[in-house]
Chain A
């Protein structure tokens, strides 16, 4: 065993959290936008009565059902992760951020779960108007859910409105300050727009994929067109929001931003690095290739301003994996630029009347399908790995947050999570890909769930006794009266 370095319970707990949270967020990143997209499609159907919108709605509803289910069960895991591996953190921080998670369940989780059933199975039962309301409630639920989760996350980044007991536990002093902590508005806007973009890119890729097979398919044209509008409108908006978020981070989390920039020395007119290899040991970024003064410009909006480097802070407060933060940031920004390029090209083609004709552009859109997932994942890595070595920035160290569970237990559960996620969610995702491949046709039946229950149409709880089966079934007393 000599020389074999076994990972500590802390490392394993971090890996486990990173694994389950990254995997989990893939689902909300897609369903937050998809729920809103579905609400818009249903609104268009209700106001125009064109079946084109209903068919497209049904096509995406089928996908939504599968993805949402995976989001729910992977989210269930998250609500226990804080306790299983990070129990000391929970004990110390629960009094401040615990209620945010509690409110998430009360305001959003129940709403989504309750009305999802109506959304998936209820069109024939409740009629279009109530069904539309259910769709809207699910869509609002996803946004409210994001609100609370990001409030909790932002508090860990830029804590406010709290006091501390002698033994280091946090307690609330102002809920308004804790909830609307300094980074929250930026993070919320940036994340919601990221989710919308992720959905737009998937919808656009699926639309493009089917246009490549048949450019006259009206449903494929509709989804492609709507997605390209989204890309051109909110793609650039996201760059602006990202910049504002960065300025905010620079103010409140300077070590994170310095790691993102690969900036070790404090510099006037700091350059933005296009490439480099940050070497924390040596305290410098090797092979640096940058644009002079650009970092100063976007961090302070003044090209000649001084930008603090990591060396301005004690080494013990530097993020533990600086190259990870540095490269994840570049991947996120690079993808952001590609997304804007996609949106702008789409706009130009549309203007020239060639949006549905350019096969090259459609292939580009297909290739960009996963870009949103990659970008949000990279973004989360930037913000979470950049927060290290703290769980509550500057106040509570990650090493002091981990629970008392033995390393073999954490390792065993990590392996179990990886295996189960790959097998179960892997087949779920393979199935989702199969659904993407199905051509969106007219009279889409929607989820198999929505097959007509009976011809009685939209009457709530329509008569069941007329159904052909089981006519000889003994009628029992106390059977419900049916309308």
Chain B
């Protein structure tokens, strides 16, 4: 029992973070695709496709942060100072984006609209890039002494973290493009198909590069992925990834609507699971384990009661909202 609670919570937090990554991933991706689409109406369609849901999507980030604070306060207390700069920059970028969301539709003239469009686009890029940097810095490991972060305020900046930053921009761009294939039609949809294929290549290349870099950088990672007998199971992961990639490209070629988005989600899920397997059982690599970072059982149990009732309800009404705004968004007859 004493170990069950931290494990359940570790899984729940991981799920919340994943939900955030894919949900805000596609709506950040919409901003990332802005440079490829110039028309005002086309951009309106893109933003309209996420306008009713972005707010809820971003809430998963608050759950990730707030949840970590509650059930793994030590991890929260170590990670946030360690990732101080990228997280602060991410928050500021999300501010630009969030306000631009509302303001670009209300712009009184074109110049103002372009300014808010740039805020939206810039905010999306910077948020995605800094999230990727935070991820890379986290994976590389956090220096800890006692119960606190022991590194400096520039430790997060490494070639590896810059690469993961770019990787996430490409990945979110892919999610955004696949989402827009689902939500648009006609010539605009064709354009997103084209973009999705390019971004899929970029994403796969980054996944390969990041995995190789980790093999060089991390001994535990090598032990987990290259040493038999574990490596036999581990060899499955690249195979599944290749299969998903093939399905994704096939779906794009066959001009399917929803399938590319689902396969892109599959790519994200597989990569995410691979990451989890690599880090297990660490909450803060390399040295703070899940059990060590956990809040007292009374705290974890208290929030788990609520979470087990409320998360299903949240999923139901979130699903309802998505269902309500289902279907294609069209040029000129948007919700805005």
Q: What 1/0 flags go to B255-292 for Cβ under 8 Å of A?
A: 11111000000000000000000000000000000000
Q: Which residue of B lies closest to A419 (CB)?
A: B92
Chain B residues, CB < 8 A from A252: none
B246 at the A interface (CB under 8 A): no
How many A residues touch B, CB cutoff 8 Å? 87
**B328 cross-chain contacts in A, Cβ below 8 A:** 464, 480
CB atoms of B77 and A102 under 8 A apart: no
Q: Is the CB of B148 within 8 A of A403?
A: yes
Cβ contact within 8 Å between B77 and A121: no
**A80 in contact with B65 (CB, 8 Å):** yes
Say whether, besides A469-B330, A473-B185, A477-B256, A83 and B324 are in contact (CB < 8 Å): no
Among residues of A, the one whose C-beta sits closest to the C-beta of B187 is: A473
B106 within 8 A of A: yes
Question: Which A residues lie within 8 Å of B187 (CB)?
Answer: 470, 473
Which listed segment binds A: B32-40, B56-64, B157-165, B234-242?
A: B56-64
Q: Tell me if B299 and A96 are in contact (CB < 8 A).
A: yes
Which residues from B are CB-within-8-Å of A479? Answer: 185, 257
CA distance A412 to B325 in the complex (A): 41
CA gap between A173 and B332 in the complex, in Å: 58
B contact residues, total (Cβ < 8 Å): 86
Chain B neighbourhood of A480, CB < 8 A: 257, 326-328
Which residues between 301 and 342 of chain A lie within 8 Å of chain B, taking CB atoms?
A: none
Rounded to whole Å, the gap between the CB of A451 and the closest CB of chain B is 7
Q: Taking A102-B69, A428-B103 as contacts, is the C-beta distance between A172 and B325 under 8 angstroms?
A: no
Binds B, one of A107-115, A201-209, A224-232: A107-115
Give the residues in chain B near A90, CB-CB below 8 Å: 69, 73, 76-77, 80
Q: Is A19 an interface residue (CB 8 A)?
A: no
Chain A interface, >50% SS class: helix
Question: Contact: A79 with B98, CB < 8 Å?
Answer: no
**Beyond A102-B70, A113-B55, A470-B187, is A118–B99 a contact (Cβ under 8 Å)?**
no
| Interface segment, one of A36-44, A65-73, A265-273, A347-355 | A65-73
State how many angstroms separate the Cβ of B62 from the closest Cβ of chain A.
Answer: 5
Question: B295-315 interface mask toward A, CB cutoff 8 Å, 1 = contact, 0 = none?
Answer: 110110011001100110010
Please tell me if A289 contacts chain B, counting CB pairs below 8 Å.
Answer: no
- Selected from B80, B257, B298, the residue in CB contact (under 8 A) with A478 is B257
Q: Are B335 and A453 in contact (CB under 8 A)?
A: yes
A98-B299 in contact (CB<8A): yes
Whether A103 and B80, one on each chain, are in contact in the complex, defined by CB atoms closer than 8 angstroms, is no
A216 within 8 A of B: no
Is B217 located at the chain interface by the 8 A CB criterion? no
The reply to whether B324 and A110 contact each other, CB–CB distance below 8 Å, is no
Judge whether A121 and B61 touch: CB under 8 Å.
no
Instruction: State whether the Cβ of A300 lies closer than 8 Å to any Cβ in chain B.
Output: no
Q: Are B332 and A103 in contact (CB under 8 A)?
A: no
Which residues of B have CB within 8 Å of A240?
none
Q: CA of A83 to CA of B187 in the docked complex: distance in angstroms?
A: 46
CA distance A454 to B327 in the complex (A): 14
Interface residue stretch chosen among B82-90, B169-177, B204-212: B82-90
Which residue of the partner chain, among B71, B78, B153, B314, contacts A102 with CB atoms under 8 Å?
B71
Known A-B contacts A69-B98, A76-B61, A476-B257; A94 and B295 likewise in contact (beta carbons under 8 Å): yes
Knowing A114-B321, A448-B336, A467-B333, the reply to whether A84 touches B84 (Cβ < 8 A) is yes
Q: Given contacts A413-B84, A431-B103, are A474 and B66 in contact (CB under 8 A)?
A: no
- Give the Cβ gap from B240 to chain A, nearest Cβ, in Å: 23
Q: Min CB distance, A81 to chain B, in Å?
A: 9
CA distance A460 to B324 in the complex (A): 7
Q: Which of B71, B84, B306, B325 has the most CB of A within 10 A?
A: B84
CB-CB contacts below 8 Å: A152-190 with B: 171-173, 175
**In contact, B153 and A98 (Cβ under 8 angstroms):** no
Q: Which residue of B has the minimal Cβ distance to A110?
A: B314
Provide the residues of chain B in CB contact with A69, threshold 8 Å: 55, 98-99, 101-102
In the assembly, what is the distance between CA of A405 and CA of B154, in Å? 11
* Residue A408 is within 8 A (CB to CB) of chain B in the complex: yes
Q: Given contacts A95-B295, A171-B298, A451-B336, are A125 and B324 in contact (CB under 8 A)?
A: yes
A414 (CB) vs chain B CBs: closest residue: B88
Name the B residues within 8 Å of A427 (CB-CB). Answer: 99, 103
**Does A120 lie at the interface of the complex (its beta carbon under 8 Å from any beta carbon of B)?**
yes
**Chain A residues with Cβ under 8 A from B200's Cβ?**
none
B140 at the interface (CB under 8 A from A): no
Q: Is A117 interfacial (CB-CB < 8 Å)?
A: yes
Given contacts A72-B58, A94-B295, A449-B335, contact A406 B99 (CB under 8 A): no
Cβ of B92 and Cβ of A420 under 8 Å apart?
A: yes
Known: A66-B106, A69-B102. A102 touches B56 (CB 8 A): no
> What's the nearest-Cβ distance from chain A to residue B326, in Å?
6
What chain A residues lie within 8 Å of B69 (beta carbons)?
A: 79, 82-83, 90, 94, 98, 101-102
The answer to whether B318 and A110 touch across the interface, beta carbons within 8 angstroms, is yes
Query: What's the least CB distance linking A67 to chain B, in Å?
Result: 9
Which B residues lie within 8 Å of A77 (CB)?
A: 91, 95
In the complex where A90-B77, A110-B59, A405-B153 touch, is A171 in contact with B296 (Cβ < 8 A)? Answer: yes
Interface assignment of B233: CB less than 8 Å from any CB of chain A: no
Give the Cβ gap from A71 to chain B, nearest Cβ, in Å. 10
Indicate if the CB atoms of A87 and B336 lie closer than 8 Å.
Answer: no
Whether the Cβ atoms of A70 and B99 lie closer than 8 Å is yes
* A446-483 at interface with B (beta carbon < 8 Å): 448-449, 451, 453-454, 460-461, 464, 467, 469-470, 472-474, 476-480, 482
**Beta-carbon contact of A409 and B153 below 8 Å:** yes
**Contacting A99 at CB < 8 Å: which of B70, B92, B105, B256?**
B70
**Which partner residue on chain B sits nearest A178 by CB separation?**
B302
With contacts A99-B70, A448-B336 taken as known, whether A470 is within 8 angstroms of B299 at the C-beta atoms is no
> Would A122 and B324 be within 8 Å (CB), given that A99-B299, A110-B318 are in contact?
yes
Give the CA-CA distance A126 to B321 in the complex, in Å. 11
Q: Which residues of A contact B87 (CB under 8 A)?
A: 80, 84
A121-B52 contact given A105-B66, A476-B256, CB 8 Å threshold: yes
Given contacts A79-B66, A84-B81, A424-B119, contact A91 B147 (CB under 8 A): yes
Chain A residues with CB under 8 A of B324: 118, 122, 125-126, 460-461
Q: Mark A396-430, 1 if CB is under 8 A from B, else 0.
A: 00000001111011000100110011001101100
B255 close to A476 (CB less than 8 A): yes
Q: Across the two chains, which residue of chain A brings its CB closest to B149? A: A404
Residues of B within 8 A of A111 (CB): 317
A104 proximal to B (CB < 8 A): yes
Interface centre among A83, A467, A472, A474, by most B CB within 10 Å?
A83
- By the criterion CB–CB under 8 Å, are A172 and B299 in contact? yes
Residues of A within 8 A of B62 (CB): 75-76, 79, 105, 109
Of A72, A93, A118, which one neighbours B321 at CB under 8 angstroms? A118
Whether A76 and B81, one on each chain, are in contact in the complex, defined by CB atoms closer than 8 angstroms, is no
Interface pair A473/B52, CB less than 8 Å apart: no
A91 lies within 8 A of B153 (CB): no
7 pairs, A vs B, C-beta closer than 8 Å: A98-B71, A98-B303, A172-B296, A453-B333, A473-B185, A476-B189, A482-B327
Q: A84-B80, A90-B80, A448-B336 are in contact. List 12 more A-B contacts (CB 8 A).
A: A65-B102, A69-B99, A72-B58, A76-B58, A102-B70, A102-B303, A121-B325, A409-B84, A420-B96, A470-B186, A479-B185, A480-B328
Across the A-B interface, give the 7 residue pairs with the lowest CB-CB distance, nearest first.
A94-B73, A83-B80, A473-B186, A98-B70, A117-B52, A73-B98, A91-B77
